[in-house]
Amino acid sequence: MKAKDFRALVAELGSLTPVQRKALMATLASGGSSGDAVALIEAEFAKAPACGHCGSEAFSKWGVATGMKRYMCKSCERTFNALTGTPLAHLQKREKWLEYASAIVDGLSLRKAAKRVGVHLETSFRWRHRFLAASKGAKATAVAGIVEADETFILKSAKGSKRLVGRAPRKRGGKAKKKGLSTDEHDCVLIVRDRSGATTDQVLPDLRARTFAAYLAPIVAKDAVLVSDGRDAYGAFAHAENILHIPIITSHGEHTYKGFHIQNVNAYTSRLKDWLRPFKGVASWYLPSYLGWRRAIERLGENFTPTRCLQIAYRCGST
């Protein structure tokens, strides 16, 4: 385990009871990277132990199977381990999980991750989307203060599909056939970010004002100042919710208005686009997972370690 990963793991020890810490250290002492991953998972389970089938907290020990502690639920009378009911359930080769989490932290493509870890490409694909399942839904549920909103467009992709409907295959990455931006050939991603760094995003099905409003209304504080580009949908939403709205119309040469700007959200979008580029096209179906992946990187910074990545994947968005 790398020093940075070990420090991140040690930081989690403070939330464990003495008994839980003792169990974790005993498992780590058994050696092997598989032991590291199992120790991490069982330490996470110990924070909020419950049946992976029914959620009951009434259970008893039931031996050990496949290298993990097993339990018997007193409510549903089914056996389970710490992985039951999580995105990591039924995945094999646990000794490679932390190494694969490292490939995610490093932003490797599926093929490069498979090569580094020594697994099949299909395994890499399956692990990638299991590991990212939790991050997909981990986004800010409220933004306040000065809130910047903007939309960005990403070329639609059916990457990995065996059948394409409505168009011929194109080269990886590719270009749109029509000029301009629309939801016909692009996925529209609405990005909302406040000055504290709280960030949320959503792939929108269309550009109608009511679609923007449906997503913005639950998350934008009523006393916020909404700063956006000149799209009418933002103005309509702000008017309906009685929120102060400041449009920045760059086509008119405007970049700031009395100190207000959308440079924060634009910079985030730029980092997102640069980070996505090496993947040479992300399948539209999996775009929300990649958006969540990027949010985790932005939110955690240097603390987005393989250990933390595995914890997030296990806890299914609760961390």
Predicted pLDDT at 31: 40
Predicted pLDDT at 315: 79
pLDDT, one tens digit for every residue, the chain (319 residues) = 555 555 555 555 555 555 555 555 544 444 444 558 999 999 999 999 999 999 999 999 999 999 999 999 999 999 999 999 999 999 999 999 999 999 999 999 999 999 999 999 999 999 999 999 989 989 999 999 999 999 999 999 877 555 555 545 555 555 655 555 667 889 999 999 999 999 999 999 999 999 999 999 999 999 999 999 999 999 999 999 999 999 998 776 777 788 899 999 999 999 999 999 999 889 999 999 999 999 999 999 999 999 999 999 997 534 3
Neighbour tally for 54: CB within 10 Å:
15
Residue 54, in any domain of the structure: no
Residue 217, in any domain of the structure: yes
Q: For residue 192, give both structure tokens.
A: 């909302």
Which among 284, 288, 289 has a CA at the least distance from the CA of 167? Answer: 284
CA dist 146 and 12 (Å) reads: 33
CA dist 25 and 19 (Å) reads: 10
Per residue, what are the HEC states of the chain?
CCHHHHHHHHHHHHHCCHHHHHHHHHHHHCCCHHHHHHHHHHHHHHHCCCCCCCCCCCEEEEEEECCEEEEEECCCCCEECCCCCCCCCCCCCHHHHHHHHHHHHCCCCHHHHHHHHCCCHHHHHHHHHHHCHHHHHCCCCCECCEEEEEEEEEECCCCCCCCCCCCCCCCCCCCCCCCCCCCCCEEEEEEEEECCCCEEEEEECCCCHHHHHHHHCCCECCCCEEEECCCHHHHHHHHHHCCEEEECCHHHCCCCECCECCHHHHHHHHHHHHHHHHHCCCCHHHHHHHHHHHHHHHHHHHHCCHHHHHHHHHHCCCC
Residue 176, in any domain of the structure: yes
Predicted pLDDT at 159: 72
Rg (C-alpha) for the chain, rounded Å, is: 22
Neighbour tally for 162: CB within 10 Å:
5
Q: For residue 224, give both structure tokens.
A: 């916020």
Residue 147, in any domain of the structure: yes
CA dist 312 and 236 (Å) reads: 37
CA dist 72 and 207 (Å) reads: 51
Per residue, what are the HEC states of 181-225?
CCCCCEEEEEEEEECCCCEEEEEECCCCHHHHHHHHCCCECCCCE
Q: For residue 189, give both structure tokens.
A: 């991603």
Measured in residues, the chain has a length of 319
Residue 9, in any domain of the structure: no
Predicted pLDDT at 134: 87
Residue 205, in any domain of the structure: yes
Q: For residue 250, give both structure tokens.
A: 């760059």
Helix axes of 110-117 and 97-105: crossing angle, nearest 10 degrees? 140
**Domain containing 197: what range?**
140-290
Predicted pLDDT at 27: 46
Which among 41, 121, 32, 122 has a CA at the least distance from the CA of 87? Answer: 41
Q: Which residue matches tokens 């998972």?
A: 41
Which among 64, 77, 58, 75 has a CA at the least distance from the CA of 23? Answer: 64
Residue 211, in any domain of the structure: yes
Residue 59, in any domain of the structure: no
Kindly give, in sequence order, each residue whose CB lies less than 8 Å from that of residue 20, ignoring residues fewer than 6 positions away. Answer: 43, 46, 47
Predicted pLDDT at 139: 95
- Residue type present at position 127: W
What total number of domains does the chain contain? 1
CATH number of the domain bearing residue 236:
3.30.420
